[in-house]
Structure 1
Amino acid sequence: MINTIVKPAGSFSATVAALALTGLNAPHAVAADANAESGVRISAQAKSETRAIAAKDPQAVNSAANLCGSGYELFTAERLPDATRLGTLFTYTKSGSSGLASSCAVFDNNSGSSVYMKLKLCPNSTDAKLCKTDDDTFSQYAGPVRVTGSNASILCSKVTAIMKYEGGTVINRVTYAAPCN
């Protein structure tokens, strides 16, 4: 998939404005784990670093959640490769009806320029054909990528985020996009 929307680097502002004009807004969670600024529900299993990023940058959390769709809750927000933040990886999970669940990932480009990015999301399965990938040169973000399946297949789904910048790989992060029991 190729992002064809012209987006300013490092910010989700244009996407938020476009979504607001179409009437698509962030889900308004009414729960103790909801981020008061963004209205996005934060997973009870989210780490303290994720909660700190959500508190500091609710607009980015909300914008990435809007890209994933309604009903998702934030599982991970991680600045990559470290606090210098050339990119931010967001993962969201959603429980559905009939025992189905979904994971969604968005890899925000905070570098200030168009760079090669790859975002890959795989359910907990040995079938590589079930993985979803978005890779190209992006000025804004890679993704969203989503996988849906049984609760068991979504648990421990893996996400890979790669960014190449100025001739080298500066981010190569593999983590879990959903809780792993």
Structure 2
Amino acid sequence: MKHVRSSVGITAAMVAMLLTFGATQAVAATSVSDVPVAKSASAFTKDFAKSNQPAISRAGHACGGNYQLASADPLPFGVDPKLRKGVLYNYITPDSGSACAIFDNNTGVRQYMELTSCPGTNVGGPGCSSDKGNFLEYAGPTYTSTKGPRGTCWVHQAYMQRVISEGITYGKTC
């Protein structure tokens, strides 16, 4: 008799392990899924994370371990979140000073997308990382330092052909 390992069992074990790790880090973050949400996240981001757990988890896992969701920005700005075309996810590692971005495609069709992440506010300067192409799911991950040349700030620039062109600066001082 052949033994088949269930991917559901593996996923449940991984979620339990990550939730246990998140529980030990309760001072730094709260968990709404298997990816922790940073304490510094806005009320909007915390609510968005609760109602969009699969997307938060998928994007967080694309960034890698130890990242916490710092913000989720439905794009284009000013559009009802239910009508969004994409979401720019900003993940941080509080201890190492690193940021990761994922630009989620919510259109349901392949789109030309660009995502660039840079320390400070100089898009295209030294220390930037980019991901460009035709994506069905998301652009990224892109990584940068959260320590810019003039303070603790960084920028993620998101572009979706004929739909979105937004730049967002994150951090406390710039």
TM-score scaled by length of structure 2: 0.76
Aligned residue pairs total: 151
User: 2:104 aligned with 1:108, yes or no?
Assistant: yes
- Closer, same or farther in 2 for the Cα pair 1:125/1:53, shift >3 Å? closer
2: CA distance, partners of 1:173 / 1:55 = 24
Q: Deviations over 1:69-108 (max 9, x none)?
A: 1111111111111221111110100033xxx411000001
Give aligned-pair identity as a percent. Answer: 29
1:46 aligns with 2:44: no
Distance change in 2, residues 1:101/1:139 (3 Å): same
Paired residue secondary structure (2:65): coil
Task: Check 1:147–1:79 CA distance in 2 against 1; reply closer, same or farther (3 A cut).
Answer: same
Using the TM superposition, give the Cα deviation of residue 34 of structure 1 relative to its aligned residue in structure 2, in angstroms: 1.6
Matched, 1:129 2:113: no
Give the secondary structure class of the aligned counterpart of 1:42.
strand
State the shift of 1:125 in Å. Answer: 6.8
Which among 141, 165, 168 is matched to residue 175 of structure 1? 168
| 2:81 pairs with 1:85 | no
Quote the residue 1:9 is aligned against: none
For residue 113 of structure 2, the aligned residue among 95, 117, 126 is 117
Query: What does the per-residue CA deviation read over 1:116-157, in whole Å, with 9 as the maximum and x for residues that have no partner?
Result: 111110012758131101011111100000124xx6338310
Decide whether the 8 Å contact of 2:120 with 2:153 is kept in 1: yes
Matches within 5 A, 1:20-169: 27-28=18-19, 29-30=22-23, 31=26, 33-36=29-32, 38-81=33-76, 82=79, 83=81, 84-96=83-95, 100-124=96-120, 128-148=125-145, 152-153=147-148, 155-164=152-161, 168=162
| CA RMSD, 1 decimal | 2.4
Question: Deviation digits for residues 155-177 of structure 1, max 9, x if unmatched?
Answer: 3100011111xxx2x1111112x
- For the Cα contact (< 8 Å) 1:49–1:78, is it kept in 2? no
Aligned pair in 2 of structure 1 residues 71, 89: CA closer, same or farther (>3 Å)? Answer: same
Q: Which has the greater radius of gyration?
A: 2
Distance 1:174 1:24, change over 3 A: farther
Residue in 2 that maps onto 1:4: none
Question: Which 4+ stretches in 1 moved above 6 angstroms?
Answer: none
Read off the aligned partner of 2:55 and give its amino acid letter: A
Task: Extract unaligned runs of 5+ from structure 1.
Answer: 1-16
Tell me which moved more, 57-66 or 38-47: 38-47
Structure 2 residue identity aligned to 1:173: E
Instruction: With the length of structure 1 as denominator, give the TM-score of the two structures.
Output: 0.74
